[in-house]
Structure 1
Amino acid sequence: MTGGHLTTRRGAMAAASLGITATAVSGLALSPARADTVAGVETDTPARAEAAPRTGRVAYECQIFSTRFRYDAEVSVRAPATAGVGDQITVAADFSDLPGVAPLPIGKWRTSGALTVAGAQSGGLPIAVPERTGPIAARAPIPIGRATGRLTLTAPGEVTLAPAAIKIVADAGAEATIDCTPVGKPAPLATVKVTESGPLEPSVSADPSTIARGAALRVTGTGWRPGDARLALCDANGAHCEPGDLTGATAAADGAGRLTGSARVARTAAAGARTLLAAQGTLSGRTPITVLADKPPPKGCGDAPRSRCVEQRLKLTVNGGPLTMSQEPGEVEMAPVTLDGTPSSSTGELRKVQVVDARGGTVGWSLTGTLTDFTSPGGTKIPAGGLTWKPRCSARSGSSPATPGSVGALGGSTAATLCGGAGGGPVVGGTYDVGAALDLKIPPATGAGRYTAVLTLTLS
């Protein structure tokens, strides 16, 4: 960056102009500014083929405060087409927007409700939508979206799911509840065929059983429920599974319970005796595998014959560069204030500064600043000591560390540190982004007018 009042050279001095306006009128006005766990791996009921969602119209009678209104909702329900006794399935119900009846703007809202469960088992399935945020204008439609719930299947046969009551709690500065009850008995919008689940003895095997990091393996097994399964690589005891040790893992069982899948061992996976885990709801299977450590590359030819190994020597010269800085163009415009007979303050931001240390040595650097008094054309002043800064200093990737200076007052007699890079150890250097928040205290007895001060930054 270049421009402004900052010059770019080692040991250079740069002046940034700061301005402030004060007007002698009364009043102060600153510028506007439940999952199961198997061997440490979270698992879920195996994913099953989901039936095509069915959509229907449901008439709701709703009430907010003393106002009643009609909500002709379009609702679609999604659920697995088939599942087994003991499975816990996820059910989703999508609702069209609620009519705009809220008399005030809504900042956030949450929706809860239920689906009626009938058939092989009966009862109610609670569903909910995560809290949503607006704003929603007064009397504008309220998006409901997708409500989900978890249903544990307890008996074989067909289980149907139908929309039931819903409730929206809206926050419009204070909470208001909208209760909606179906008119009549809504028709089912999803059916799950639940099969009797007998005792399963899942098995799993891996090919190859000894594998290098980065290589792919094939997974097979028998005795599984139809649907997806999860794969993980665990320690030798089948515990402490590391999700990142397998990449591209996928597995599923067919209608006969035959499991097939594949995965690739991550290059960062720990080597040695490991366990491959396949998990499907509360079912799990394990098989031992061995992950080979990477073979280190040979170092030099050693005793290898020269007809099969040769060496070439590479040389490099690295030349050191300069220590420089640059700044974002423009001046620092402090926030204007209006005098009211009491002390006031004005804030601002130092124009962004960049320091580049390309010397390739062990000597550190320091960026300091001094400030003149704020003066106006009428001759009145605001002392420089009234300005404090809060330095910021960050090193870019690969650079040696840098430390911001302390929060404190500026002035012309003593330089204050904005940022510095320590030296004296290993080679230092890199690129650094520097800035500071500014806060000027203004006495109540200050003349109105446009004030200017010069902040000088010195890199050494």
Structure 2
Amino acid sequence: MAAAALALGSGLVALAPSVGAGTVTPVMRCTTPVGAPEGSQRFEVTLDPTHGDGATSMHVVAGGSPATSPIPIPLATIKSVYTFATSGGATGDLSVAPPSFETPIEVNTPIVPPPFTVPTTIVGAAAGSTVDLTLKSIVVQTIVGGNLLATATCVPISGNGVVASYTVEQGSQAPTLTATPSTVDSNSRVTLSGAHWPAGPVGLTMCFPEFGGFCDNGYSTIAASDVKVVDGVLSGWVHVAGAVPSTAALLKVTSGSVALEAPLTVVSVPVGGRGLVLSPDTGPIGTRVTVTGTAFSPNAQITVQPQDEPGAPTEDAVTTTADANGSFTATFTVTAAATVAVAAYEFGNPAIGKRTPYTVGEAPAGTTQSVSGQIKPGGLTMSQAGDRIDFGSATIDGKPLRLNAALNRVTVVDARGTDLGWSLTGTMSELTAENGTDRLPAGSVTWTPACVAADGAPGTVTPGTPGPLGATQAQLCTQTPVEGRATGGSVSADAAMTLTTPAFVRPGTYSGVLTLSLS
């Protein structure tokens, strides 16, 4: 029997009047792993100097964020990136990253960051123009024990406005930055080039928008580099570390007062690189060749292309798709005497792939080999898409309250190869208020199960009966055998869930535990 626990949370709150917003006190909405809180946050931004050739220092004093923690944390490291939209004499975004800081975090208490001052540069503005800065977003990372615990992305939704302005007194050509190639394997080099750069030490940082804007300049992302600026020309290379996963990235380059980013698409390659095997790897025209690839990107579109010595196609390409482990198999028939190699590459990009030799000639003498194989039974397992169910919040109005949510999808995989079938059930604890005294009975939570079997899964899948949860096991989903056939395959179990409270209940956050059991 397997079991999994999900934490439930729901807030019952009284309505309060909205806080008036000023041009430097916008209402922020924060996207966090536990919800999307909103609230006013004050920002004071000072540029010093406020005019010149674009170089300045930004001083920021920020108030407490509406993004708070539902649990106490004795000590956390906070990293953040502030992004401002520019208007007037320039367009685009300006991002600054203050120094990280450590702080204890109390439950549901705003974190007030320390004031900070960082150098920055206004680029691409014409002489005599004024550039206005308006807060666009803040990305905050909470790190505990060296591990990323949570990422919050906060954006203004009302009451926003210009917080600082800068006047450009002399125009200059905007710096440029190019990264070649823009799509690169992990554990390989990217060539950098640019013009109109100021002299100074070159700084390199790699940022990952898909991971909450996380940025790093250590050996885990940039294994080695050699970039310099000579007479305004930037040149050199960066070696992307082998640990970087498949993701979109921004390679940030700084020198003097200039900071620019070059977009990259990184394709993760395991240690040892991709594997590509031809069977056979030699034979006359008309030979049917099986191409087997390993360690390619999972689920990537693969192009298999026979080539001549310079790499030009010698016959039609074959397309296929790698599986979840990055493996694939494809076949083609040799039709051109000029074929000397076969390349397999991802997403139509020949730079991301593997090439292996093929010899057009006489096929080797045939031999025979005995063939056998053993198939062993697998297990009965389940996994869940998340471990929290959040019913959100509602305001007491003298009538019973109904709050809706959805069960995190549960996937059951039966690889036993038997005809036993299985049963997935759930039990619910009482929901206890944060004061530890007030409670809602377990039956306040009801569900309406829904189950879907993957194509080809044998057996009959039946959802449980809608109704309340409690200490007695309630059926979420069952799979019953079909006579003469094994049960198995993959089944997705979902449920629409409702939390119903009495008309009069003490306000607070009520939490309980839903336990799922598979047998």
Shared fold per TM-score greater than 0.5 = no
**Structure 1 length as normaliser, TM-score?**
0.35
| TM-score, L = length of structure 2 | 0.31
Higher alpha-carbon Rg: 1
